Amino acid sequence: MSREFSVGGDGLTLANAAVTLVFVNPTTAPNFNLEFIRLWSSQQGSATSAQQRIQVETQVTAFPTLVSATPRPLKHSDPNASIISGGTAGAAGTCGINASAEGAGTKTVKWGDNFNVLNGYLWVATPREVITIYEIDATGQRNWAQAVYNFRWTPQTDPYGVVHKTIDYPGVPVDHATIQENHGVLKNVRIPIRPHFGVMGLAPKEADYVDSIPPGYFGGNMDNWRVGKGATMYYPVAVPGGLFSIGDSHASQGDSELCGTAIECSLTGTFQLILHKKDTLGGTSLAELDYPLLETQDEWVLHGFSFANYLQELGPTAQQAIYEKSSVDLALKDAFRKMRAFLMTTKGLTEDEAISLISIAVDFGVTQVVDGNWGVHAIVKKSLFAGASV
């Protein structure tokens, strides 16, 4: 059977299965043009044992010369705290840059999505908000971006007449007549282009309407730059149809997305979606999958969060409480538990063996600390299991 359908998957039942998202890259990879328009599905066998495939194809669109960054709403914990964030400008576009910390103390600084700098608090006597403009070559001849200029935020009036003294809301237009451009910033610095989508995932089952900022077991706003060219993502399916969604395209980002924004841009992509039926997952690397799992040519990358299923764990107020309760400590514990289970379930290790291997060969990193439900990823090399099939 072959038919076209929406991403919402009308009539396509994916419950009790896992979905594989495979990036299919254009032959003109240097252009970093990805696509997303048309879908088709095919099915063979009976309805209970079918393996369904969904392929997504699109038209190519190129990067704009200048790209725009959209920060999360800022939340000030102290009127004298340093605000470290990105923001939006006019047609030229913007990207955030970190303000430097001058002096030390024990004050709490928050930016992005209520980001608290844990126990190493930053302190600056004067509030600062700095915007940096980055330029990307739309022809694809350069695989790096460079800073053009930055400027200090000045109070801006949005189309509704609201004055924004700080970058407190994403998408505020900037009147460039009110700011002073500071050129010659980040001299001789080339930022590698790593195009990827910050948001990809399926729908959770715990709520009908869900804040798109915090990620979770269903994927969503994970902001992992490794989910790009040549990557494969696996997600547990929680609702009929899966309801795959995608967005938050980035030209480049580092681990943590520390100031709340990457080099945000317009990006389209070509994808292939494959449904793996639950009863076929035993003995594979997808066995008992209940979190987003990334596979690259050389690695498995497991995603941990402050709360693995915050919608369930935090109760009726979860979508508000998650912004107040996240920590890197909790995310690291979750990533560890998932890696331990992965090694024991899919590689046949004992718990002692798994913990030893984690300590000496697994790399943990901070995925993001700006999306409400903070993330820590754990990377294990496939080459560690060279003596067996991976």
pLDDT tens readout for residues 238-256: 999 999 999 999 999 999 9
Torsion angles phi and psi, residue 94, rounded to 5: -150, 170
8 Å CB contact between 269 and 233: no
Q: Is residue 349 domain-resident? A: yes
Whether 390 is in a domain gets the answer no
Query: Which of the listed ranges 47-51, 132-136, 260-264, 307-311 does the model predict with the highest average pLDDT?
Result: 307-311
- pLDDT at residue 44 tops 50: no
- Per-residue pLDDT, averaged over 194-207, amounts to 95
Q: 165 in a domain, yes or no? A: yes
Q: Which has more pLDDT, 227 or 45?
A: 227
Do 116 and 96 belong to one domain?
Answer: yes
Q: What percent of the chain has pLDDT over 70?
A: 66
Number of domains in the chain: 2
As a whole number, mean pLDDT of residues 109-122 equals 32
Looking at the structure, tell me whether residues 184 and 260 fall in a common domain: no
Do residues 244 and 320 both lie within one domain?
yes
Whether residues 217 and 321 fall in one domain: yes
Residue 175 lies in a domain: yes
Are 322 and 216 part of one and the same domain?
A: yes
Question: What is the maximal distance between C-alpha atoms in the chain?
Answer: 68
Q: How many helices (H) and strands (E) does the chain have?
A: 4, 23
Angstrom distance (rounded) from CA 1 to CA 28: 32
Please give the residue range of the domain that contains residue 48.
2-60+193-385
What proportion of the chain, given as a percentage, has pLDDT over 90?
Answer: 54
What's the whole-number average pLDDT of the chain? 72
83-98 confidence digits (pLDDT tens): 222 322 222 222 222 2
pTM: 0.68
